[in-house]
Amino acid sequence: MAKAWQEVKNELEEETDKIFLTCPDEIKRFHYGIITHSDAGKYSFNQYFGHWVHAYDAYMGFQSSVATLLQLARDPDSDLKHLKKLFYIMFAGMAPMFAEYAGQKLVAKYIMETADALDTVQTKEEFVELIEVFGTFVTRLYWWFHWYFPWGGWGISLSTAVTRGHKGNGET
């Protein structure tokens, strides 16, 4: 049985407090190049940067999707039924599967718990309360991903490849 939205909201607040000053281990693993989770590690073929880009993009998308949902929720012409449906479409469809694949189990867990808890939301005000807290949580995770992202990594790899005469097809 799904948890009530208030319970999920409280858990999200507690989890956000935990990760506010302490980066979650699953993000630290990415930072240190430990890509052994799920099938991603099996098929990474030293594609450390590629995994970062995909996971980073997902977190960036989560935050912008939350902002869109909140803007719609505050619009008097929107209705709760469609807001819930949009959350399912924007988050609960593919996002948890991709997040799990990318080793981001924490966000996958709370996407699904939030989606399940929407069944207990009765008003747009409750929806806003829950999604605001969910948004704070995913924004904090995004912040950690942004902080640890290997910003100089690709430039160094590319410039090294060019100076060594790589043609981009594995030949030199």
Q: pLDDT digits over 129-171, tens only?
A: 999 999 999 999 999 988 887 776 655 554 554 455 545 455 5
Q: pLDDT digits over 20-61, tens only?
A: 999 998 888 877 777 665 555 555 556 667 777 777 788 888
| pLDDT attached to residue 166 | 47
| pLDDT attached to residue 161 | 45
Contact (Cβ atoms closer than 8 angstroms) between residue 5 and residue 121? yes
pLDDT over 70 percentage in the chain: 79
Count Cβ atoms below 10 Å from residue 161 Cβ, excluding itself.
13
Average predicted confidence (pLDDT) for the chain: 83
Q: Taking residues 10-17, what's their average pLDDT?
A: 98
If we measure between CA atoms, which residue out of 25, 105, 114 comes closest to residue 66?
Answer: 114
| pLDDT attached to residue 37 | 56
CA distance 7 to 130: 10
| pLDDT attached to residue 167 | 53
Tokens of 127: 């929806």
| pLDDT attached to residue 158 | 47
Q: Taking residues 111-120, what's their average pLDDT?
A: 97
Helix, strand, coil percentages in the chain from 3-state DSSP, rounded to 5: 75, 0, 25
* Confidence (pTM): 0.82
| pLDDT attached to residue 145 | 86
